[in-house]
Amino acid sequence: MTKFDLFSAETAIVQDISSALHNEQLGVDHARQLLAKLLTQYEKLLRETQQLIKLSDRKARELHHLNQKLKQLSKDFEFQSQHDALTGLYNKGEITKIIQEQLTLNDFSLILFDIDFFKRINDNYGHIVGDQVLKLIANLVEQNTKHKDYIGRFGGEEFILILNDTSLEQSIETAEKLRKLIENSILDADGIQVKITVSMGLTLCKQHEIFEDVYVRVDQLLYAAKRGGRNRIEASFVN
């Protein structure tokens, strides 16, 4: 019997009692029997209603928990789609998008840098040590830039850094500080001492420039720094 059937049975009994009382045809024993039957039906309906409430509360809690898990999964997926798995920095796609957005908003400085002789590090010490080098540099740069700046891993051993609200001269000072910091930070990997240096290209980007033009310019500056002996900065600006 469903909850609806129980409720219908109750209603019918109440109607029987009401009709009999109205017609003065209900004896005491008959009334007692009908009331006992009604009470039994009511108690059964009450128990099943309470069970439904408990079930509903449990399902509501389960749905809330599932909703929280789905929200967290969505956040995790969004983070993973925007960040490099090894370093936790913005990945190439996301940092490119940020540069393009910044170009529509204001002037800023852009630094493209990579690790000198990184292939030699991988060949001599293995890719595990190479990964540790990448993570070390990512941490050093993140810890020594402002919250309004952006840092991404552009691919392989190459990184890109956006410096906001700084002149070219201030940006050169920041780049030099980072270059020296990296040069003086020797990685100790299970007793292996790995010395690291980086070469940097730095350019001042003007609002409404095209991303491809900006990237070609800073990339050329990076390679000029490498040709000039590595572990150095090559900078320029656009009028």
How many percent of the chain have pLDDT more than 70?
A: 85
Residue 43 neighbours by CB under 8 Å, 6+ apart: none
CATH code given to domain 92-237:
3.30.70.270
Residue 84: the pLDDT is: 95
* DSSP three-state, residue 189: strand
Question: What are the backbone angles phi and psi of residue 187, rounded to the nearest 5°?
Answer: -80, 130
Rg over CA atoms, the chain: 36
Dump pLDDT digits (tens) for 3-55.
445 455 556 656 665 665 555 555 667 667 777 777 787 778 778 887 888 87
Element (H, E) at 109: strand 108-115
- pLDDT band of residue 135 (cuts 50, 70, 90) is very high
User: Residue 59 is which amino acid?
Assistant: K
pLDDT at 59 over 80: no
Q: Is the pLDDT of residue 123 over 90?
A: yes
CA distance 183 to 230: 11
The C-alpha atoms of residue 196 and residue 5 are separated, in whole angstroms, by 80
Does residue 226 carry a pLDDT above 70?
yes
Q: Which of 123, 152, 120, 118 is nearest to 133 (CA)?
A: 118
- Amino acid at residue number 235: A
pLDDT at residue 218, as a whole number: 97
Among 67-76, 79-88, 144-153, 199-208, the range scoring the smallest mean pLDDT is 67-76
Task: Give the C-alpha separation, 11 to 5, whole Å.
Answer: 10
Q: Is the pLDDT of residue 72 over 60?
A: yes
List, as one string, the DSSP characters of 128-141: HHHHHHHHHHHHHH
SS3 90: strand
The catalytic site residues sit at 157
The pairs formed by 121-125 with CB atoms below 8 angstroms and a separation of 24 or more are 121/194, 121/196, 125/189, 125/192, 125/194
Q: What is the pLDDT of residues 177-222, one digit of tens each?
A: 999 999 999 898 888 899 999 999 999 999 999 999 999 999 999 9
Rounded CA separation 229/227 (Å): 5
CA 142 – CA 136 distance, rounded (Å): 10
Residue 167's pLDDT is what? 87
pTM comes to: 0.73
Q: Give the whole-angstrom CA distance, residue 180 versus residue 209.
A: 30
- pLDDT at position 3 is 47
Q: Is the pLDDT of residue 121 over 80?
A: yes
